[in-house]
Amino acid sequence: MTVEIISVGTEILLGNIVNTNAAYLSRQCAALGLSCYYQVVVGDNEARMAETMKTAIDRSDVVICSGGLGPTEDDMTKEVACSVMGERLVEDAETHRLIEMYMGRFVRSHRGYQITENNWKQAMVPEHGIVLKNDNGTAPGLIIDKNQKIIVLLPGPPSEMKPLFDQQVFPYLQRKQSEVIYSTTLKIVGSGESYVEMSIRDLIDTQTNPTIATYAKTGEVHLRLTAKAENEKKAKELITPVRLELEKRFETQIYTEDEEETLEMALVRLLYDHNLTVTTAESCTGGAIAARIVNVSGASSVFRQGYITYANEAKQNMIGVKGETLTRYGAVSEQTAREMSEGAACTAGCDCALSVTGIAGPTGGTKEKPVGLVYIGCTCRGKTSVKELHFSGNRGKIREQTVVTALAFLRECILNSL
């Protein structure tokens, strides 16, 4: 079956809120084996909304709308959907009772507030629709299943939409499907997208089921393997030989096969598994590497402290970089990166240390040391390695690339030391 996702709300069009609902629904639909070819955002306008829904229902089997189920005048998704599907609205007694209970609690805790007439608008439902109880708000979810077409109406707030979809819509649509789609992702660091794609060109050219798709991220490449089968077990069986072949080709460059695991999460896990501690010494990234590490729950078991040594005096006073080194080679040099890393490891008493020094721009570059030149140093169990890199882009992009590359370099050095 094909699915189309419609996100309702002028605030989305204006950029006042980020449309996270569409991304979430896309992932869930893919897991259901639904093919999504279109995503649309439409504002709170009756005529445009009706046109959007008619187009969607003509070209898709399932249409999922989020937003526009509230009590105000510009909340018209339900009314438009009923018009498009030829349904009339009737009051649902159970929904009326639940709204009364929900709003009653609100009134009791907000002195002077009263239930207004427009709140009962949310108790009006399609006459032949399926009402989905909303435990987190007053607007129920709704399903209109008619003439071999399905429209699903969900509230806009993610805290309401996600539980409704997970617990009630997902199982409903799953029963309509004769097959499932299963996906897994291999996350790779240390190679660019073009290199990765060329390395698997033979697999891509002959793929049928499963398929391989490459996605470029900053400093990473993600490979998504997707298989379609009558059940999840058989889909996994189809994926297994391809996954094993990719693991053989990329080996330790694959840092995780967990969709939710980030590079820093994998790094903290690696440090913890081998009882290692780490510190950082940062110049051009100004603490961004340490921030990525400590963003991981449990990082305190492996991360001791970090040093932001932006000025030369800080490099000397905090982690023992020699003044002679700075004078002779400069702050942005292989020698300084090496001393930063070794000094940080010694000062913090850690097994590993990561240092970065570079020119993020847009000023400060020279012919010999242009903007984008970065040195990354890594000390691991007494051995120090330094990498010279040349990044392009604006200041933010250069710093972002430096952070990811540094984390990947630390991971590589740890693995080489084991």
What are the C-alpha distances in Å from 288 to residues 171, 347, 348, 396, 400?
Answer: 42, 20, 18, 11, 8
Phi, psi of 311 (to 5 degrees): -90, 155
Q: Cα torsion for 346, 351, 357, 360, to the nearest 10°?
A: -140
Residues 243 and 351 in one domain: no
CA pair distance 374, 397, nearest whole angstrom: 13
Q: Are 200 and 211 in contact (CB under 8 A)?
A: no
Give the CATH number of the domain where residue 19 resides. Answer: 3.40.980.10
Closest alpha carbon to 406 in 382, 383, 388:
388
Residues 406 and 287 in one domain: yes
Residues 163 and 202 in one domain: no
Q: Encode pLDDT of 67-77 as tens digits.
A: 999 888 889 99
Dig out the tokens for 350 from the structure. 């850690």
The residue from 129, 147, 176 where one domain ends is 176
Q: What range defines the domain where residue 102 resides?
A: 2-176
Residues 12 and 159 in one domain: yes
Residues 272 and 332 in one domain: yes
What are the C-alpha distances in Å from 197 to residues 185, 189, 193, 240, 388?
Answer: 15, 13, 6, 19, 25
Residue 108 has pLDDT above 70, yes or no: no
Residues 167 and 213 in one domain: no
Q: Cα torsion for 91, 93, 98, 100, to the nearest 10°?
A: 80
Which pLDDT value is given to residue 96?
Answer: 87
- Least confident among 144-148, 166-170, 227-231: 227-231
Read off the pTM: 0.75
Give the CATH number of the domain where residue 347 resides. Answer: 3.90.950.20
Which pLDDT value is given to residue 98?
Answer: 85
Q: Encode pLDDT of 353-408 as tens digits.
A: 999 999 999 999 999 999 999 999 999 999 999 999 999 999 999 999 999 999 99
Q: Give, to the nearest 10 degrees, the angle between helix 77-85 and helix 46-59.
A: 50
Give the CATH number of the domain where residue 188 resides. Answer: 3.30.70.2860
Q: What is the mean pLDDT of the chain?
A: 94
Q: Encode pLDDT of 215-229 as tens digits.
A: 899 999 999 999 988
The residue from 124, 154, 176 where one domain ends is 176
Residues 191 and 167 in one domain: no
Residues 40 and 131 in one domain: yes
Q: Encode pLDDT of 32-80 as tens digits.
A: 888 899 999 999 999 999 999 999 999 999 999 999 998 888 899 999 9
- Least confident among 124-138, 171-185, 402-416: 171-185
Residues 34 and 59 in one domain: yes
CA pair distance 101, 366, nearest whole angstrom: 69
The residue from 140, 158, 176 where one domain ends is 176
Which pLDDT value is given to residue 101?
Answer: 80
Q: Are 351 and 277 in contact (CB under 8 A)?
A: yes
Q: Give, to the nearest 10 degrees, the angle between helix 334-348 and helix 312-319.
A: 40
Residue 28 has pLDDT above 70, yes or no: yes
Q: Encode pLDDT of 111-123 as tens digits.
A: 666 667 777 888 9
Residues 14 and 142 in one domain: yes
Residues 242 and 268 in one domain: no
Which pLDDT value is given to residue 115?
Answer: 67
Query: 137: pLDDT confidence band, cut at 50, 70 and 90?
Result: confident
Q: How many domains, in total, are found in the chain? A: 3
Residues 118 and 75 in one domain: yes
Dig out the tokens for 386 from the structure. 């330094």
CA pair distance 207, 203, nearest whole angstrom: 6
Residue given tokens 């984008």 in the structure block: 372
Residue 248 has pLDDT above 80, yes or no: yes
Which pLDDT value is given to residue 109?
Answer: 63
Q: Which residues pair with 353 in a beta bridge?
A: 279, 379
Residue 107 has pLDDT above 90, yes or no: no
